[in-house]
Amino acid sequence: MEYATTEEVKLEPLPCWQHLSNPDYRGAIRGVIQQIEVETGTRHTRDGSQPLGIKAVLAQHPHDRPRQLKKSWAPAFHAASKAARQELVEAYGWFLGAYRMAAASMSQGSSPAGFPEGSFPPQPRFVRWGVDVAPG
On whether the CB atoms of residues 102 and 115 are closer than 8 A, the answer is yes
Count up the domains in the chain and report the number: 2
What is the gyration radius of the CA atoms in the chain, in angstroms?
Answer: 30
pLDDT, tens digit (0-9, with 9 covering 90-100), for 2-42: 999 999 999 888 899 999 999 999 999 999 999 999 999 99
The predicted pLDDT at position 130 comes to: 66
Q: What percent of the chain has pLDDT over 90?
A: 60
The predicted pLDDT at position 136 comes to: 58
Domain that holds residue 98: 79-120
The predicted pLDDT at position 112 comes to: 66
Asked, for residue 107, whether it belongs to a domain, the answer is yes
Asked, for residue 135, whether it belongs to a domain, the answer is no
Q: What is the spatial distance between Cα 115 and Cα 106, in angstroms, rounded to a whole number?
A: 9
Please enumerate in sequence order all residues whose Cβ is within 8 A of that of 50, keeping only pairs 6 or more positions apart, or say none.
44
